Amino acid sequence: MRYVRKIALALALAVAAAAPLTLPASAQETREWRQPNADLSLTILDTGRIAMPDSYGYKGGPDTKQDWPILAFLVQHPNGTVLIDAGCNPAFATGKAKEYVGFIYPLAKLIFDLPQMTPGQDVGSQLGALGIDPASINAVIATHGHIDHIGGVASLPASVPVYMGEGEVPEFSRWNADLNGFHKLDIETGNDFRTVPWEAEGLFGFGRTWDYFGDGSMVLIEAPGHTPGSLMVLLNLESQPILLTGDAVYFKQNYEIPAPKGNLFLHKADSDSTKAMQVIERVRAISQEHPDVLLLLSHDVAQFPSLKIAPEVYR
């Protein structure tokens, strides 16, 4: 009987040695999400500034105002050219901000400093300066619908479709939409505003994704909290992976401390503070578990000087 047990043990060890290694779920995800693509590129567009206190960016920050950058992102791939966010409406660069903002202009100026742009900073003009016909853009992917992320669609042809997360478009019809950062004129441009066709596969602990080009090079990640339809975008460049966080985090301090965003007068930075903090915690985990991922923040004043800005390109 002793020899039988020895033989059984030897057979079991042999089978185990021949079987493929089964990794923990987190390790499997790490192996699968990184799909570098040599044909993918990213160009960052500097589309203006907005003066905001750090205390609005993260709770506990100083009240001193800084000029936060407002960024848009041009993604080029053999199968298409896409804008991630579109900056502000060109009215802020042409002296027509009052007409654009409308009847709440005095109140808007009381709550916020309005965005500052120079002529030619709108995304349509910047595309032209780069030799790209705005009509050739296949889509705009909006990380969310606030005016500093979607207003620039007005500088693009109406033929360019715009994708936003689930639940985002209805926000423009609410009675307090403007107070929450949504301006109805931004979706009255004639463009086709579509909801992201989310897929079941999750990533980094998030629920749903959309592999836009179908090859893992650009993956949208559902991340509600800042707004109902907020999303992030993973870019698998050959040199490094980059995660465009949208406004899931404003500053590095949000995920390093970690700290929630603050309030400005009666305005809450996030529509759902609980979900928003959950997203911040997941971004914190990404920063710790995947330090090779560049977390590219749309408004981080401290990070901005280190970024390559158009016409420089990330590949």
Interior/surface letters 90-103, b for 16+ CB within 10 angstroms, e for the rest: bbbbeeebeebbee
Would residue 276 count as lying in a domain? yes
**pTM of structure:** 0.88
What pLDDT is recorded for position 27? 36
Give the model confidence (pLDDT) of 104-138 as tens digits.
777 777 777 899 999 999 999 999 999 999 999 99
- Where are any strands of DSSP class E within 85-204? 139-141, 162-164, 193-195
Would residue 9 count as lying in a domain? no
Q: Would you tell me how many other CB atoms lie within 10 Å of the CB of residue 243?
A: 22
* CATH code, domain with 108: 3.60.15.10
Would residue 290 count as lying in a domain? yes
Would residue 314 count as lying in a domain? no
Q: How far is CA 167 from CA 3, 163, 219, in A?
A: 67, 12, 19
The pLDDT > 90 percentage for the chain reads: 78
Number of domains making up the chain: 1
State which residues of the chain have pLDDT below 50.
1-31
Burial class (CB in 10 A: 0-12, 13-18, 19+), 166: middle
What pLDDT is recorded for position 28? 40
Would residue 10 count as lying in a domain? no
Structure tokens at 282: 């997941």
Contact between 242 and 235 under an 8 Å Cβ cutoff? The reply is yes
Secondary structure (DSSP) of 50-112: EEEEHHHHSTT--S-EEEEEEEEEEEEETTEEEEE---S-GGGTTT-HHHHHGGGHHHHHHHS
Would residue 275 count as lying in a domain? yes
Smallest CA-to-CA distance from 153 within 84, 93, 89 is with 89
Full domain range(s) for residue 122: 25-306
Handedness of CA 139, 142, 147, 148 (dihedral sign): negative
Give 264's strand partners: 267
Would residue 298 count as lying in a domain? yes
The tokens 């999750």 sit on which residue? 202
Structure tokens at 1: 């009987």
Would residue 7 count as lying in a domain? no
Cα-based torsion angle of the residue sequence 74, 77, 82, 86 in order, rounded to the nearest 10 degrees? -10
What pLDDT is recorded for position 22? 29
